[in-house]
């Protein structure tokens, strides 16, 4: 995963002083990261966009409370995860995800039949397969527990180090590693179950 360009300390300070331009610069630099975390955590583009905007509104309102500018990225990720957790709970209460399951039957002309999960490795060159893999992974992620999904998104999709993750989640690296491994194995199980 391509690392986001580092935001200058001066920009953050200007933003803290209420500079709209500096805020826009921060948004432009970090919108993709925030939006992608939101999308992988929620699995819906519209929800992800709305959530990402809420995250930046929170940043705009509370950046003055940020004491160490150097930790801006960790702070931004933390704000994003908090919003994602709250939104996930909110959507879950409204059974938002119930109708979108890997086990859900797909209605065809011949009637209902289980959704076929093809192995993308059979034909890796096709774009369709690539898209299929992305969709497969996204559905698998949504089948995991919140904390497991968080770990996979942060480590395997966002490329955070164990140190950063430990700081962010307030857990020792060993715990992060073991939890992450269980999350990966769980995702493997989910994908296997869905392909059979």
Partner 1 sequence: MVCEKVRNRFSSLWEKELTSVEEKEIREHLSSCPECRREFEQFEKTMQWLHSVEEVEVPDGFLPELHKKIEERKTNATLGGRPTGKWFGLPVSVKFPAQAVAMVAIVFLVLYLSKMMPTEVYQPKEPKQTSSLSSPEQKPGQVSVHKEAEADRKVLGKPAETSGLKKDVDQVATPAPVEKRVEASPPYMKAEGKRRVFDRSAEASRQKKDVDQVETFAPAKKREEAPALQMKAEAKKEVSSPKSEIVSRQAIDLGEQEKAKIASPEPGLSGKGLAFVAKEKPAVTFEKSVVTLKPPQEIVLRISDREKVVSRLQELVKEFGGEVVAMEGNMFVASLPTGSFSDFEKEVAELGSSRKADKLVQKKQALGSLRAAPGMRREDAPKPAADAEGRLTIRILLVQE
Residue showing tokens 């180090």: 161
Is residue 134 near partner 1 by the rule CB under 8 A? yes
Cβ proximity to partner 1: between 52 and 84 the closer is 52
Beta bridge partners of 112: 107
How far, in Å, CA of 152 to CA of 141, rounded? 8
Is residue 157 near partner 1 by the rule CB under 8 A? yes
Is residue 115 near partner 1 by the rule CB under 8 A? no
User: What's CA 22's distance to the chain center, in Å?
Assistant: 25
Among 21, 32, 89, 145, binds partner 1 (CB under 8 A): 32
Is residue 14 near partner 1 by the rule CB under 8 A? no
How far, in Å, CA of 80 to CA of 64, rounded? 17
8 A C-beta contact, residue 155 and residue 165:
yes
Burial (CB < 10 A; 0-12, 13-18, 19+), residue 94, is: exposed
Residue showing tokens 């269980």: 182
Is residue 3 near partner 1 by the rule CB under 8 A? no
Among 11, 15, 22, 35, binds partner 1 (CB under 8 A): 35
Is residue 171 near partner 1 by the rule CB under 8 A? no
Closest CA to 48 of 130, 165, 138, 147: 138
Is residue 117 near partner 1 by the rule CB under 8 A? no
* Min CB(98)–partner 1 separation in Å: 23
Binding site residues, partner 1, CB under 8 A: 1-2, 20, 24, 27-28, 31-32, 35-36, 39-40, 45, 48-49, 52-53, 56-57, 60, 120-121, 130, 133-134, 136-138, 152, 156-157, 177, 180-181, 184-185, 187-188, 191-192
């Amino acid at each position: 995963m391509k690392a986001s360009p580092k935001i200058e300390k001066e920009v953050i300070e200007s933003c803290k002083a209420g500079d709209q331009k500096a805020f826009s610069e921060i948004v432009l630099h970090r919108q993709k990261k925030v939006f992608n975390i939101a999308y992988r955590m929620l699995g819906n583009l519209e929800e992800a966009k709305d959530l990402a905007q809420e995250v930046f509104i929170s940043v705009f309102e509370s950046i003055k409370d940020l004491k160490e500018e150097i930790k801006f990225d960790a702070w931004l990720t933390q704000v994003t995860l908090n919003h994602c957790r709250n939104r996930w709970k909110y959507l879950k209460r409204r059974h938002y995800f119930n109708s979108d399951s890997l086990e859900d039957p797909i209605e065809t002309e011949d009637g209902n039949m289980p959704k076929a999960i093809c192995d993308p490795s059979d034909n890796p060159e096709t774009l369709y397969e690539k898209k299929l893999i992305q969709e497969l992974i996204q559905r698998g992620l949504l089948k995991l527990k919140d904390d497991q999904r968080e770990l996979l998104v942060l480590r395997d999709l966002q490329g955070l180090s164990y140190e950063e993750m430990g700081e962010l989640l307030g857990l020792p690296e060993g715990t992060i590693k073991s939890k992450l491994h269980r999350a990966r194995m769980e995702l493997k199980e989910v994908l296997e179950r869905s392909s059979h």
